[in-house]
Structure formats: C-alpha cells, structure tokens
C-alpha cells in the first residue's frame, strides 16, 4: 500500500531499477537453491527415513531451504497420522 | 614500511563475468598502494589473454613470463618487470601463447610463497570464468575482491563467485562496485550500491564511478591514480587506503537532494 502511494507521488510505475531488483531476487534464490537441489533430496530422504521408523507419515512431507539474504533455514513439514 | 618483516597478503581480484573491471582495479589499486610506499607485485593469471601489461603501460619491458618461471627457463627475479614510476611496484607477466591449463593451483601457491617475504601486497589478476583459470587464481589468496557492475548479469555472476569462494573457505571477501552512474540510479534506471549489498551480502570496499578518464589512461598506459583529479582515481586511492587498514568514509559521488531523501523516508514502509 505504502509502495503504491510512493509510486503515485513520484509518478512512476515499476522503474527499471525496481525490476532489476525483483528479477535478481528471484534468480539468485533459484541459483543458490539449484546447487543444493541434490542435497535437499538426500536430506529429505534421510530425514523421512528416521521419522518413519518411529511414527506413521501421511500426506506430502516437505523439506525446503528458505533463504533471505545471507540467512538460510530448513523448513521441514512432515504430516503424521493422528489417532 | 611498517610491516617490512611480515609476510605479504595475497589478494585475488575476481568477478565471474568478463569485462567488469578486474584488470583496471588491479592496476590502479596496486599502483595506489605502491605510491603510498608499500612493496607491491601484480601477477597476471589471465594466461592466453593478457591485458595487465598494457593497462600498466609495461608491455615493452616484458622479457619472460610466468610459465617460463614455472618451467624453469628463467628465475622469478628475472621475470619480474619493475614499474619505474613507483618505488616498488613489480609485475609478473602472463604468457600470451599458452593456456590456463598449463599451470596448476599448487604452482601458483609455490610462486606466491616465494614472493610473500619480499612484498606487502601480492595482487592476482583473475581471468573471467569459473574454470581452471579461476581455481589457479584463488589458490594462494588470503582475501578476495569481487568486482561487479550495477547490472543484473554481473551481479548474478558475482553471487556465484562469492558462493564458490565461500565453499573454498574464504572468510575475507569484499565487493568493488565499478562503473556506477549516480544520475541513473537516481532516475530509477540503475541498481544502487545498497541494492547490490542487499543481494550479495558482503562487505563493501569501494565504489568506482563510470569515468571516461579510465579509457584515456588505458590508451596512454598510465594508471588513472596518477591523475589525481579524476573521480575514479579518488575511488581507487580510497580502496588502497581501506585495504591498508585506514577507515575511509565512502564517497557516494552523489548529490541526491535532502528533499528527495526526506520524501523517500516519509513514504517508505520500513
Ligand atoms: N569505471 C570505469 N569507467 C569507464 N570504463 C571502465 C571503468 N572500469 C573499466 N572500464 C573499461 O571496461 C573495460 C574492461 O575493463 P577491464 O579490462 O579492467 O575488465 P576485466 O574484468 O579485467 O576484463 P576481462 O574479464 O576481459 O579480464 C576496459 O575497456 C576499461 O577501460
Ligand atoms: Mg582482465
């Protein structure tokens, strides 16, 4: 919303600089993930294996890397069977 | 100088993308440090496509090259070309008719080990790319300067290179933003230094504006830092001073008005 007001006041839509920034944000996230796609697969398999030994997994388990700037986190979402 | 008895630092200047200003940065920062009285040597590792000798204006004085040193045809001392404009600036030339595969990372490490006791700074001019030439160039380095332009493809390559440097256990990686045009940033047509830092998440060591003086000095074979008045000269001198430990404020080369800054502050959501 504030962005919109800012744009109206400065009389510009998305500037080439803004576009460059959002394109870079996308492409860099993708590049950084790309190199670790295999690693993510391996991690997912092994984590699921350990969990499955103790509880029943159901649905679509997910293991993702979330990056924001220099910071990264593993987002693990494993639905397990309720009673 | 102050660290006469300390071994020299090896600094690789790299970028991934070609033509962003690595050789220009090496030539000028090395010259600036030499002018300050430091003992400096520059190594051209762009084997097969050498340019550093031309940019420094030393092409007529080259006799031997780095491959001849490695293959034992001459001594390291014989191959070093002295730049007479400075008390202690030397260049180790690349070979023009050989390949980047004709030299190994181990050989570069050994060469730098030989140079360390006699110099304060050893600069390595890295070729473009991420292959063997890059691996050779980073092998001996204690720190890396990553040069980029405010442009999406250069930033993407810089990000890749930073990732590779981090995997190679580099902890000292600094960014040089070259060819910045503030009027374009202000008009919203170019990425700003802050934009680049937000994407790349590394420390900044220099902002070099687009400057016609660079082409003029390249034509003459004179580093631009010899011409005190140019904006690029100030920028490269400042990089040299920061590398030698001085705390120098970043010139923005900017005259963005107070009013614009104020309105931006008022309307930005953060
Ligand atoms: N700040 C600047 N302003 C204007 N022109 C510049 C600037 N920096 C570099 N250049 C020009 O850009 C060109 C490429 O510079 P340079 O050779 O230093 O890049 P490089 O990264 O070493 O290239 P390569 O990857 O081919 O080795 C040169 O013609 C140089 O004069
Ligand atoms: Mg070069």
Q: How many CA atoms lie within 13 A of B134 on its CB side?
A: 19
- DSSP 8-state symbol, A80: B
**CB-CB contact of B49 with B40 (8 Å):** no
The helix/strand/coil state of B180 is strand
**CB-CB contact of A75 with A65 (8 Å):** yes
Whole-number Cα distances in Å, B103 to B18, B39, B95, B265: 21, 25, 11, 53
Which of B130, B163, B267, B268 has the most A C-beta neighbours within 10 Å, making it the best mutation to test the interface with A?
B267
CA–CA separation, B169 and B133 (whole Å): 18
Find the mean pLDDT for residues B62-75. 96
Q: Which helix (H) or strand (E) holds A42?
A: helix A37-54
> Rounded to a whole number, what is the distance in Å from the CA of B260 to chain A's nearest CA?
10
Find the mean pLDDT for residues B57-86. 96
Query: Could you give the percent of chain B with pLDDT greater than 70?
Result: 91
CA–CA separation, A23 and B42 (whole Å): 37
> Rounded to a whole number, what is the distance in Å from the CA of A47 to chain B's nearest CA?
24
How many angstroms separate the first and last alpha carbons of chain A? 45
- Asked if A12 and B163 come within 8 Å (Cβ–Cβ), the reply is no
pLDDT at residue A3 in the model: 55
- Asked if A32 and B155 come within 8 Å (Cβ–Cβ), the reply is no
pLDDT at residue A36 in the model: 66
The residue to which tokens 């919203």 are assigned? B188
B15 Cβ closer than 6 Å to some ligand 1 atom: yes
Q: Among the residues of chain B, which ranges form H helices?
A: 22-35, 52-56, 66-70, 76-79, 105-115, 132-138, 152-167, 182-186, 193-200, 212-220, 231-243, 258-267
pTM of the model: 0.82
- What's the pLDDT band for B1 if we cut at 50, 70, 90? very low
B51 Cβ closer than 6 Å to some ligand 1 atom: yes
**CB-CB contact of B43 with B145 (8 Å):** no
| pLDDT tens-digit series, residues B181-227 | 999 999 999 999 999 999 999 999 999 999 999 999 999 999 999 87
Residue A67 predicted with pLDDT over 80? no
pLDDT at residue B259 in the model: 46
Find the mean pLDDT for residues A42-69. 84
| B62 C-beta neighbours (distance < 10 Å), count | 17
- Asked if A16 and B189 come within 8 Å (Cβ–Cβ), the reply is yes
The whole-angstrom distance between residue B72's C-alpha and the CA centroid of its chain comes to 28
Interface contact A83, partner B, CB < 8 A: no
Residue B10 predicted with pLDDT over 50? yes
- Asked if A21 and B191 come within 8 Å (Cβ–Cβ), the reply is yes
The residue to which tokens 């996308």 are assigned? A26
Q: Give the closest residue to B184 by CA, choosing from B201, B216, B209.
A: B209
Domain boundaries, chain A: 2-77
| A29 C-beta neighbours (distance < 10 Å), count | 14
Q: Work out whether the CA dihedral B262, B265, B268, B269 comes out positive or negative.
A: negative
How many angstroms separate the first and last alpha carbons of chain B? 47
pLDDT at residue A44 in the model: 86
B232 Cβ closer than 6 Å to some ligand 1 atom: yes
Q: What number is the ipTM of this complex?
A: 0.81
- What's the pLDDT band for B262 if we cut at 50, 70, 90? very low
pLDDT at residue A65 in the model: 74
- Asked if B195 and A21 come within 8 Å (Cβ–Cβ), the reply is yes
Alpha carbon of B72 to ligand 2 centroid (Å): 26
Find the mean pLDDT for residues A6-27. 79
Whole-number Cα distances in Å, B174 to A17, B132, B212: 23, 22, 25
Query: Could you give the percent of chain B with pLDDT greater than 90?
Result: 87
Name all domains of chain B by residue range, CATH numbers in brackets: 9-268 (3.40.50.300)
Interface contact A4, partner B, CB < 8 A: no
**B212-220 and B231-243 helices, crossing angle to 10°:** 80
Measure CB to CB from residue A17 to each of B159, B163, B185 and give the nearest one. Answer: B185
- DSSP 8-state symbol, A57: B
Alpha carbon of B169 to ligand 1 centroid (Å): 28
Residue B109 predicted with pLDDT over 60? yes
- DSSP 8-state symbol, B225: G
Number of helices (H), then strands (E), belonging to chain A: the values are 3, 2
Average pLDDT in chain B: 91
How would DSSP label each residue in B85-140? TSSSEEEEPPPSSS-GGGS-HHHHHHHHHHHGGG-SEEEEEPPSSSSHHHHHHHTT
pLDDT at residue B257 in the model: 45
């Amino acid at each position: 919303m504030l962005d919109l007001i800012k744009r109206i006041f400065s009389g510009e839509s998305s500037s080439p600089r803004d576009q460059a920034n959002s394109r870079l944000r996308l492409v860099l996230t993708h590049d950084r993930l790309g190199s670790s796609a295999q690693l993510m697969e391996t991690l997912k398999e092994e984590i699921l294996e350990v969990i499955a030994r103790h509880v029943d997994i159901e649905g679509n388990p997910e293991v993702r890397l979330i990056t924001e700037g220099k910071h990264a986190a593993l987002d693990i979402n494993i639905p397990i069977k309720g009673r | 100088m102050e660290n006469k008895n300390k071994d020299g630092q090896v600094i690789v200047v790299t970028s991934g993308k070609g033509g962003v200003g690595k050789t220009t940065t090496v030539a000028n920062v090395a010259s600036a440090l030499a002018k300050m009285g430091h003992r400096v040597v520059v190594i051209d590792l762009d084997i097969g496509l050498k340019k550093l000798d031309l940019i420094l204006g030393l092409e007529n004085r080259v006799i031997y090259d780095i491959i001849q040193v490695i293959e034992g045809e001459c001594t390291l001392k014989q191959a070093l070309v002295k730049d007479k404009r400075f008390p202690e600036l030397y260049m180790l030339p690349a070979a023009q008719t050989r390949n980047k595969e004709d030299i190994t990372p181990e050989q570069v490490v050994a060469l730098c080990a030989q140079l360390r006791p006699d110099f304060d700074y050893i600069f390595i001019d890295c070729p473009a790319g991420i292959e063997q030439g890059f691996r050779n160039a980073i092998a001996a380095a204690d720190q890396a300067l990553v040069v980029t332009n405010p442009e999406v493809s250069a930033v993407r390559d810089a990000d890749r290179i930073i990732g590779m440097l981090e995997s190679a256990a580099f902890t000292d990686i600094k960014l040089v933003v070259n060819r910045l045009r503030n009027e374009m940033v202000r008009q919203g047509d170019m990425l700003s230094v802050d934009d680049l830092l937000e994407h790349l998440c590394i420390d900044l060591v220099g902002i070099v504006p687009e400057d016609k003086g660079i082409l003029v000095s390249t034509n003459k074979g004179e580093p631009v830092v010899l011409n005190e008045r140019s904006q690029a000269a100030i920028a490269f001198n400042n990089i040299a001073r920061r590398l030698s430990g001085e705390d120098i404020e970043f010139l923005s080369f900017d005259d963005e008005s107070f009013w614009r800054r104020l309105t931006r502050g008022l309307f930005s959501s953060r």
